Amino acid sequence: MHKIFISACFMGENVRYDGGHQSLLEHNLFAETIAKWKQEKRLLSGCPECLGGLPVPRDPAEIQQKNQKIITVNNTDVTESFHQGALKALDLCLKHNIKYALLKESSPSCGSHTIYDGTFSNTKISGQGVTAQLLTQHNIQVFSEKNIAELITKIDD
Ligand code: SF4
């Protein structure tokens, strides 16, 4: 049975920088699938930024395009915490032989196709968050809420 590493905020956990969540268990289209996967015990949830030791709530952070450092809106360098969190997420996936991840799009940790551009101007660009990038480098396929339909076809076994 394929297991899936899933962003904790997708499971309704209040781990986002603003203290909220992005629950897919309340999503019009995907709630049923996520609830089924949860019941089947396929899902292992985690928040890379919390795994990296960052608090909730926390200042929003973005990846600076000039040097790939992750800087908060108040100019604190949180690069190390983000990388530690990514490593812990990878460890969890390897320990549980997980080949698929479902991560929140556009996050500097979890984004798999887009991220914010580092200027805190609400501008998105193509790119990956640090956890999505590390998992991909270790042959874990990363999906987001934008292409969850592709993951559903893979899990349909
Ligand atoms: Fe959700 Fe990932 Fe951000 Fe944690 S780091 S709140 S799991 S998007």
For β-strands 61-63 and 70-72, DSSP reports them as antiparallel
Helix residue ranges per DSSP H, the chain: 31-39, 48-51, 79-95, 130-137, 148-155
What's the mean pLDDT in 114-138?
A: 98
What atom of ligand 1 comes closest to residue 46's alpha carbon? 7
The CA–CA distances, whole Å, from 152 to 25, 57, 65, 90, 117 equal 15, 32, 33, 22, 30
Residue 8 C-alpha to ligand 1 middle, in angstroms?
6
The CA–CA distances, whole Å, from 57 to 18, 61, 86, 101 equal 5, 12, 19, 24
Taking the C-alpha atoms of residue 113 and residue 83, their distance in angstroms, rounded to an integer, is 18
Percent of all residues in the chain with a pLDDT value above 70, rounded to a whole number: 99
Q: Which residues does a 6 A CB cutoff place in the pocket of ligand 1?
A: 7-9, 15-16, 47-49, 104, 107, 109-110
What's the mean pLDDT in 74-98?
A: 98
Instruction: With a cut of 80, say whether residue 157 has pLDDT above it.
Output: no
Q: What are phi and psi of 152, to 5 degrees?
A: -60, -40
Report yes or no: 2 and 120 within 8 Å, Cβ to Cβ: no
Mean pLDDT taken over the chain: 97
Residue 89 C-alpha to ligand 1 middle, in angstroms?
11
What's the mean pLDDT in 80-84?
A: 98
Confidence of residue 87 (pLDDT cuts 50, 70, 90): very high
Count CB neighbours of 32 within 10 A: 11
Q: What is the pLDDT of residues 2-54, one digit of tens each?
A: 999 999 999 999 999 999 999 999 988 999 999 999 999 999 999 999 999 99
pTM tops 0.85, yes or no: yes
Please name the amino acid found at residue 118. G
Measuring from atom 2 of ligand 1, which residue has the nearest CA? 110
Instruction: With a cut of 80, say whether residue 156 has pLDDT above it.
Output: no
